[in-house]
Amino acid sequence: MKIKNGAEYIESLRKIKPVIYYKGERIEDVTRHPATAPHVRAAAMTYALASDDAYGDVATATSHLTGRTISRFTHVHQNVEDLIKKVKLLRILGQKTGTCFQRCVGFDGINAVYSVVYEIDQKCGTDYFERFKQWLITIQDENLMVVGAMTDPKGDRSKGPADQPDPDQYVRIVERRPDGVVIRGAKLHMTGAVNSHEILVMPTTAMDERSKDYAVVCAIPVDAPGITMIFGRQASDDRRDKLERIDVGKPSFGAVGGEALIAFEDVFVPNERVFMDGETEFTGSLVYRFASHHRANYGACKTGLMDVLTGAVSYLAQIQGTAKASHVRDKVTEMIHLSETLYCSSIACSAEGWPTPSGAYMVDTMLANVCKQNVTRFHFEVARLALDLAGGFIATLPSQYDLESEEVGHLVKKYFSGVKDIPTEERIKIARLIEAMTGGTALVESMHGAGSPQAQRVMIFREGDLGKKIKLAKALLGIPQKERAPENG
C-alpha cells in the first residue's frame, strides 16, 4: 500500500487541491483548517490501524485481484469472514474516535458497484467490470480514500429524475463523447468528501428508461475541473472553529463525518472511469445492495460510539459520587444491553451473507434493514439514558473561558467539583463529551444516515415473506392452502 499510515494519508491530502468552501470562504488545506482537520484525523485512524500489528487481521485484507495486502476499506468481500471482520473493525474504530471515520460509504459503494457491473456485463456485453477492476486495483495499491456519492438533491420529490423542472436535481450525463461523458448535478450530505481522494458517483434510486441519462456510475478525482464542494455546518462548530479544546467535546475528532455538498458543473469523465451509462434496469439493485451494506455497518460503528458514551457517563457517575446507586447501575446496564443487542444485528446480517454471481459477498438484506432500524431507536435511547444519568448541568455549564479565567475560574472549579481528588476539569471535559455525542448532528446522522427509518420499514415489509408466514399459521391449524397472494396493503 502506497499510503501506509495516518501521517502519510494526511500528507497525501496536501498534494491535491479540491475546491472547498465553508461559511463562504475557500478552504486551502483541509488538514489544517479547524473545521475539517478533526475529520481528517478521524479518517487517519483507519490508516493507523492498518499499520498497527495489533489490528492487522481486521484492518487489512488480501486482494483477490492482486494477492497483495490492502486496506480492508478497499477490499471486496469474498466470504462471510470478510463481512464479520468488517463489523469488528468498525466497532473498534468507533471506540477509538467516538465519531464517524468516513470510509464506509466508499467501501460499501465499491462492493455494490463491483457485483452489479459484473451482472450488467453478463447481460449487456459491456466491459464495465474490467474497467472497474482496473480502477479498483489502483485504489487498493495507492490506498486511496473513496467517498461514495449516492444521495441526489431530488428537487420536487413527487417527481422522478426525468420529470424535474430543474433537470440537474439528479446527477446526469449531459454529453457523450467518443472518449467519455460529461456530467452535471450534485450530491448532498457526502460524508468524508472534503478529505477523500476519489468520488464514486452512483444513482440514488431505481429508474426507468425515461431516466437513461441519470443512470450513471463513474469515478472522479476530487480535484477534477468543475467540482465544487461546500462543507456543512455542525452543532457547536463555532466552538471548534475557535479551537475551544474543552467546549467542543471531542477536540481530536469531528462531531460526525464532515458532510459536504458536491456540485458537478460539466465534469468530464473518461470512458475508463465510467461503469454504468444508461443501464436503468440495474439501478434498483445497485441502490439496494449499497443500502444494505451500509445499513449493516451502523450496528458496528454506532455500537463503538455507544461504548464510549457508556464509559463517559459511568465515569461521570464516579466523579459525582453516584456510581453505586442502584438506579444508576440499572440504567448503565440497559445502555450496555442495547449496545450489545445492536451489535448482534450487525454480526447476524454478516453471518447470513451470501455470494453474488460476481463472487462478492452480500449481507442478509432483511437483517441489515432490521439492524439500521434498531439504530434509529437504540442509539437514541442510550443517549437519553446518558443525559438522564449525567444531569442537567450539561445544559448550563460555563465555558472553557470561564474555567481558565483569572477572575472567575476559581469559582467554576469550586462549585462544579465532584468527589475529592478528581479535578473539576475532568468533570467538565466528560460533560462536554456527553453533550457532543448526544446532541445535534450526531443523532440526526444516526436517524437518517443510510436512508430514513421509513426506507428500512418499507424493505422490512417487502422482505417479510408474509405469504410464507400465513402458510405456517394455516398449516398449524389444518386450514387448506390456497394459491392466492395475501393482501398486504
Q: Cell 450513471 maps to which residue?
A: 216
Q: Which residues contact 57 (CB under 8 A, 6 or more apart)?
A: 85
3-state secondary structure of 436: helix
Q: Which residues contact 115 (CB under 8 A, 6 or more apart)?
A: 289, 356, 357, 358, 360, 362
448 catalytic? Reply is no
Q: Are 309 and 150 in contact (CB under 8 A)?
A: no
Q: How far apart, in whole angstroms, are the C-alpha atoms of residue 197 and residue 195?
A: 7
Active-site annotation holder among 198, 279, 435, 445: 445
Q: How far apart, in whole angstroms, are the C-alpha atoms of residue 229 and residue 221?
A: 13
Q: Where are the beta strands (DSSP E) in 222-352?
A: 227-231, 259-270, 274-277
301 catalytic? Reply is yes
Nearest to 270 by CA among 211, 221, 321, 204: 221
Nearest to 429 by CA among 384, 389, 391, 399: 399
Active-site annotation holder among 22, 104, 197, 343: 104
Q: How far apart, in whole angstroms, are the C-alpha atoms of residue 216 and residue 275?
A: 7
**C-alpha cell recorded at residue 167:** 433537470
- Which helix (H) or strand (E) segment holds residue 452: the answer is none
Active-site annotation holder among 198, 244, 259, 279: 259
Q: What are phi and psi of 301, to 5 degrees?
A: -65, -40
CA distances from 459 to 373, 452, 464 (A): 11, 11, 8
Burial of residue 161 (CB within 10 Å: 0-12, 13-18, 19+) is buried
User: Taken in order 134, 168, 24, 258, is the CA torsion positive or negative?
Assistant: negative
Active-site annotation holder among 47, 55, 128, 298: 298
104 catalytic? Reply is yes
3-state secondary structure of 184: strand
Active-site annotation holder among 46, 100, 204, 279: 100
334 catalytic? Reply is no
Active-site annotation holder among 39, 77, 293, 294: 294
Active-site annotation holder among 191, 204, 303, 441: 191
- Which helix (H) or strand (E) segment holds residue 329: the answer is helix 326-351
Active-site annotation holder among 99, 114, 301, 303: 301
259 catalytic? Reply is yes
406 catalytic? Reply is no
| Residues assigned a catalytic role | 100, 104, 191, 259, 294, 298, 301, 445
